Each structure stands twice: as C-alpha cells, then as structure tokens.
Structure 1
Amino acid sequence: MALAVTVPSIKLNNGRHMPAVGLGTWQMDDVEAEKAVMQAIDLGYRHIDTAFIYNNEVAIGKAVRQKIKEGRIKREDIFITSKLWCTSHSPEAVLPACHRSHRYLSLDYIDLYLVHWPFGLKSKTEVQSPQEFDEFDSTSLEDTWREMEKCVDEGLVRSIGVSNHNSVQLARVANVARIKPVVNQVECHVGLSQHQLLQFCRDWDVIVSAYCPLGAPYRTGKPRGAPASLEQPALIQIANKHGRTPAQVALRYVIQLGAVPLPKASSLEHMNDNLKIFDFKLDKREMEILDKLDKNDRLITFPQARHHLDWPFKIPF
C-alpha cells in the first residue's frame, strides 16, 4: 500500500488538536460509509465527520474499530466529530442523545460533539431525516449548551462546539460557557466565502470547519446565473496554472481562508485528491480572484425552520 498522506493539525482553544481536513459523510448509507472510512484511513485521513441524523454512526464506528484492530491506527490518532440533532435540545434530552451517539460509534470517546443547528425541534417519533418534526422547540441556546458541557464532564466527549450558528448565536453561547465552544461548523466554499463570520470566529478563538467546501460541484439549477462551483472559468484557470484539479484549488482556498474543509467523497480517487492540498499555496492575487466568486450562494438553509426564532440566516453573518 502507498504511504499515507500526513495531514497537519490545528490547535483548538482547549489545547487539543484537530486534523486540518476531514471526510464528510452526509448522505452516505451504512455500506458506503463503512467502506469510505476504511479507505480514507488507509489514505491518511484522520478526521471523520458524522452526525446522529446521518444515520451512519454505527457503520463509521465499526470501520474505525476495524482499522484499530488491524493496527493501522490507534484511537488517539483519529478525530471523530458527531452532532446533537435538533429534536434533542431540551435539557433532559441532550445527555441521552450523546450517550446514544457514543454507543452507536462504540469508541471510548467522541472527539468533538456539536450542536447541529441552533434551533430546537420536537418530534413524537424517532427521527430518521431532517424533515421529520412536529413543531418547534423553544429551548434556549444557553440551556442546551449547559447540558452539552455535561457531556464533557462525563467523559463522553473531549470537546464541544456548534454548527450553523451565526455571530449573535455563537456569542450567546460563548458568553455563558463554562466550557468554551472550540468549533463552529458552517457551509463555506468559493460561492460562500464567509469572510465576516470567519473573522468573528477568529476573534472568539473558535475554529471554523467547512461543510460543502466544494459547493455543489456540478449542479444544473444555477441560482442567479452563477456556474456550478467547480466549473467557474477563473477556478479552472488557477487549477491549470498549479497543475491541480479545480476541486483541489477550491479546498486549498477554504484552508487559506482559515477553515477546515470536510469534503464528502466515496471514490478512492476523489478521497486521495482531496488530501493533496497541503503542498501548494495560492498567492494573494489568486485568493482575490476566488473571493470575487462569492455570490452568497448558500446551498443549505433548512427552509422548514425559517420561522423559528433561532433560524440562523436572518442576519448577514
């Protein structure tokens, strides 16, 4: 087997380290997720991103345990992120939800546990998809966060953070936190550079991890006339100059913005390509060119919750 790529890590505000690129697993079923994670670990990935609502925690845990059993990695070599779903925001539901993800993964601990969205939802039945809820839950961000801290206290998780939180929501959490959020995971790509939110997170010493870092690579419905992310002529031109793929340049752009990209990939070729982004740099002019591709082209908005008081996209960042 070829030598695995070594991925650098970044330091979190609690002193722990997180690998600077990870594998996203949204919309991977059990079979695909288990195979992808095992292949990813062999290639050099040391950061896997999942969530309760992805319905693949069991498969991902199985893949990681297999690679530990093979001696390919030790538990401390790999960084696992999971997330609290919206239907478990009430104070009495947070710890049980974390215990469930911990049990599904069947690892000693979860490295990072995030509040998936800032708004709570209620469901009378066990949810299998984001669309499944009956009504809004009015539990405050602050009350949910206090329960998240107990997940650290009990040793279930090493670090906690948030996802899809705007600047006001992040500040609300940070201002009451006994254990500070280390990460805010948000959508970030050449079509949505998030400069203002990134700077805000830096000011609070919170790392941004980026989902959808490739945008929607080849979609046909192009809002506001914008080409799909990887088909932008400027992106292709820069990629050709560096002898790279447009995807590699798009990921490098996200890294140089200061975020940790979490590209989803299940093919060996794409997973391998997505790791080879640490041996070249974009110059200032190239970053400026890519900045101009920002059309505020947000792909993930959770429109079913747009009338919730804590829906995060009511303000610019």
Structure 2
Amino acid sequence: MDDSLTSVTLSNGLHMPSVGLGTWQSPKDELKVAVRAALDDGYRHIDTAYSYLNEDAIGEVLQEYIKSGKVKREDLFIVTKLAMIHMEPALVKRSIEMSLKKLQLDYVDLYLIHFPVQFAAMEELVDLGLTKSLGLSNCSISQVERICKISKHKPVSNQVECHIYLPQNELFDACKKLGLAVTAYAPFGSPGRFEQLREIDAPVVLEDPVITKIAKRYSKSPAHILLRNLLQRGIIVIPKSVTPHRIRSNIQVFDFSLTKEEMEDIAGIKTKRRLFAAVGLM
C-alpha cells in the first residue's frame, strides 16, 4: 500500500484521509448500508451536509460502530456543512448544534460553508470545540484569498467540483500556496446527479478514451484511474456510492501508481468543462 497518499496533513496538523465517502443524494436506508460497508472496508472519512438531509442516518451508524468498539471516534474524520438557511451570523452556532445532534457527535473534524459568507461567524465554533477546523466549498481563488486575509482560524480546505474535464489547476495551486487542501467532489463527473444539474451534452468522464486505455493497461476500472490521478496530484476525493462493492472498490487505489507519462496524458485531455449546471448543494 502507498501510505504516502492515504492521508493529507492539513495546515492545522490534522490528518485527513484522502479517500472519503460522499453521501449527497443518498436515501437514508441505502446510506446506512453504505456507511456500514465503508467503515467495514476501512473508510474513516465521511462527508455530509445539513442540506443532504441524511446526517441522522449517518449518526445512527456511527454510534452503532463507536459503541460496539468497531471504530474509535478519534479515528474518524467527519465533515459536514453549514445549512444554507442558516447563513445569518446568529444562526451559525445553532446550525452546527443541529448537525451534531443528528450525527450524535460532540464535534466534527471539518465544518464547511457552501458560499463565502459569514465565515467570521463560524470561527467561534472552533473556539467552542464544536469543530476542529473550518473549510470552504465552491470558492474561487479571489474568495479564498480574501477569507484567508481576514480570518483568525484560517480555512484548511476548499471542496470543489474536480475531475479530468475540470482539473482546477490554478485553483489547486492557489489553495496550496495559501495552505488549503483541495477536496474533489464528483471525481467521476457525478453520473447520477439530478437532471436539472446536468450541463447539456455533457461528456461521460468514465468513458473517456484516455482513461479507459490506461485502465485496461493496469486491469483496473476507469474509476480507479480517475481517483488515482487526483490522489497523485495531492487532491482528496469523496466518491459517492451506496453500492457496497463499489464502495470497497473505490478505496482500492493504493496498490498501483500512474507513471509520469500517464499523468501527462491525462492532463493533456482536450475536453475542459464544468459538468454541474449549478453548485451550492454539494
């Protein structure tokens, strides 16, 4: 196993597992099965949000595993996000407390904000011990720079759409310079996303010929190549699935490496476009 890529050290010293379970659009009953499968397969990073309406299902499974001794709370890395209906400063603390109640936890490891507003109001949450760190989601370079200049508890990460057609090279470089890790949602292009979120005539990431050719070379799936490419770039990934065998497969990406030439071939893919017609819920 390539231990050097299994986690990323954040600017505050926390170690964030580089492969997490994405839970957007996951029905509760299916999600419980998915979280159990993920924990059994070695996942320790779970990504959710108040707006996903599934924190309670995740919390139920987490408590089941913690109380049974299957996992320790300190070994988990739980990420959730400020509710968009709680953007007023006075509601920020209430929002995380509601999430913690549903998750049945005393704190989360990383608390994200969907949009770059009210970050200052979130900083108190670190002081109160309700979250170990703060992060951003869907923020541009200028937004990240502005927040880093004015914040006491600087954000440690920026979660964005990122895949072979939207590599986010400039954003990644800017975040790295400022000490932020980048987390990629939709590393497979989110093929199951809502129809209204799809760009017209969007290409299928998993069917890209460069990716499928490399996958055949290693006897791996296109999904393995897509994840491995991001990991070797230093990007955290949160592939979403509720299917146990796919969840297991998605974490089996540490037994091979892409060559410099293969990384360059992937970087040279001509198609460059965003696949989500809108952001904010992710």
Q: Is this a same-fold pair by TM over 0.5?
A: yes
**Aligned residue in 1 for 2:234:** 258
Answering whether residue 129 of structure 2 is matched by residue 155 of structure 1, we say yes
Give the equivalent residue in structure 2 for 1:229. 205
**1:268 corresponds to:** 244
Which of these residues, 40, 43, 46, is aligned with residue 45 of structure 1? 43
- CA separation of 1:161 and 1:226: change in aligned 2, threshold 3 A: closer
Unaligned runs of 5+ in 1: 119-140, 306-317
What are the within-5 Å matches in structure 2 for residues 174-193 of structure 1? Answer: 174-193=148-167
The CA distance in 1 between the partners of 2:94 and 2:172, in whole Å, is 32
How far the C-alpha of 1:107 sits from its partner, in A, is 0.9
Structure 2 counterpart of 1:275, one-letter code: I
Aligned position for 2:263: 287
Q: Where in structure 2 are the equivalents of 1:96-107 lying within 5 Å? A: 96-107=94-105
The AA in structure 1 aligned to 2:278 is F
In the alignment, the residues of structure 1 paired with residue 144 and residue 270 of structure 2 have an alpha-carbon distance, to the nearest angstrom, of: 23
- Equivalent in the alignment of 2:178: 204
Task: Name the % identity.
Answer: 42
**1:190–1:294: 8 Å Cα contact kept in structure 2?**
no
SS class of match (1:157): coil
CA distance in 2 between partners of 1:197 and 1:296 (Å): 15
User: Which has the greater radius of gyration?
Assistant: 1
Q: Of the two structures, which has the highest relative contact order with CA contacts closer than 8 Å and spacing of 6 or more?
A: 2
Letter of the aligned partner of 1:188 in structure 2? C
Superposition misfits of 4+ residues, deviation over 3 angstroms:
216-219, 221-227
Mapping of 1:1-317 within 5 angstroms? 8-118=6-116, 141=117, 144-217=118-191, 227-293=203-269, 295-302=271-278
Change in 2 beyond 3 A, CA 1:290/1:218: farther
Equivalent residue letter for 1:270: R
Q: Offset of 1:85 from its aligned partner?
A: 2.4
Q: How many residue pairs align between the two structures?
A: 276
Distance 1:259 1:303, change over 3 A: closer
SS across alignment from 2:109: strand
C-alpha deviation, 1:223, in angstroms: 6.1
Note the alpha carbon deviations across 1:269-290, whole angstroms, 9 max, x for none. Answer: 1111100111211111111111
> In 2, are the aligned partners of 1:167 and 1:200 still within 8 Å (CA)?
yes
Local SS of the residue matching 2:152: coil
Q: Quick check: 2:115–2:280 contact (8 Å CA) kept in 1?
A: no
Q: In 1, are the aligned partners of 2:51 and 2:84 still within 8 Å (CA)?
A: no
- Provide structure 2 residue ranges, at least 5 long, that are not aligned to the other structure: none
Letter of the 2:144 counterpart: L
**Alpha-carbon deviations, 1:227-263, whole Å to 9, x = none?**
4111111111101111110000001111122210100
Q: Deviations over 1:41-64 (max 9, x none)?
A: 001000000000000000101111
